[in-house]
Amino acid sequence: MARRKKIYEGKAKILYEGPEPGTIVQYFKDDATAFNAEKKAVIEGKGVLNNRLSEFFMTGLGQIGVPTHFIKRLNMREQLVRSVEIIPLEVIVRNYAAGSMSKRLGIEEGTQLPRPIVEYCYKDDALGDPLVTEEHIAAFGWASQQDMDDILSLALRVNDFLSGVMLAVGIRLVDFKIEVGRVYEGDFMRLLLADEISPDSCRLWDIETGQKLDKDVFRRDLGNLADAYTEVARRLGVLPKTNTAVKKPTLIN
């Protein structure tokens, strides 16, 4: 059997050429990294959970009319997605202060923001993904004004959807990061939500206890990351409601 072609290997995912032109297979690894890959570990089961969770969020967003790259989940660790030209920006939406914003502006973590705040970082690992303004984005031609209008409304729609879905299961969506890509259809170009939506790229706090259920568990050594992600998946009904702690043979579909 011919070996499939690897297109790109990132910190948490591998991209392979898909079965048809314009498609890509996204493989979710168990690798966890933080602080621009200074801290690394393999968290058994993380890839399987993120594959399922990203499928769940992307499918739900598709159902409310948000265009995404997601086509279908292929197996435990892989999903088929549309190939896009990634816009080199990390689009961050914040509802509560945390992480780099708390540090930068001296706002206590957990403070509710007056309204959702959208930030843009330039995707460049060597530079540590620096915060940029729309001036930089326009001047360097990373995205047009029309793209930026579309990205802003896309980001806010994703925020409303995810905030509601999380609230329904007792989880506060503190902040999250998305990536947006372009697809060309004839003479037209459209933007799609790309990459992944998972607890790797969100901050999720239990509403009652404040317990962190996201990658901060790994970043800040707060416990077992796979347990936190399993809890998110269980609450959302993404995992079967059986006791997943008991390891027994299961049929994979």
Q: How far apart are CA 148 and CA 154, in angstroms?
A: 10
Nearest approach in angstroms of CB 100 to ligand UDP is 3
Phi, psi of 248 (to 5 degrees): -140, 160
| Number of residues engaging ligand UDP in binding (CB under 6 A) | 14
Residue ranges in 10-69 that form contacts with ligand UDP under rule CB under 6 A: none
Nearest approach in angstroms of CB 18 to ligand UDP is 24
Residue with Cβ nearer ligand UDP (147 or 175): 175
The number of C-alpha atoms within 13 Å of 158 and in the hemisphere containing its C-beta is 30
Residue ranges in 149-188 that form contacts with ligand UDP under rule CB under 6 A: 175-177
Of residues 26, 75, 76, the one with CA closest to residue 196: 26
Nearest approach in angstroms of CB 56 to ligand UDP is 17
Residue with Cβ nearer ligand UDP (144 or 224): 224
Nearest approach in angstroms of CB 191 to ligand UDP is 19
Contacts by residues 220-223 (CB-CB < 8 Å, ≥ 24 positions apart): none
One of 215, 217, 228, 231 touching ligand UDP (CB under 6 A): 215
Nearest approach in angstroms of CB 22 to ligand UDP is 26
Of residues 94, 210, 227, the one with CA closest to residue 162: 94
Residue ranges in 78-137 that form contacts with ligand UDP under rule CB under 6 A: 90, 92, 98-101, 129
Q: Cα–Cα–Cα angle for 240, 242, 244, nearest 5°?
A: 90
Nearest approach in angstroms of CB 62 to ligand UDP is 21
Q: How far apart are CA 238 and CA 206, in angstroms?
A: 17
Is 77 within 8 Å of 48 (Cβ atoms)?
Answer: yes
Look-up: residue for tokens 């239990």?
206
Q: Is 203 near ligand UDP (CB under 6 A)?
A: yes
The site for ligand UDP (CB under 6 A) is made up of: 90, 92, 98-101, 129, 175-177, 201-203, 215
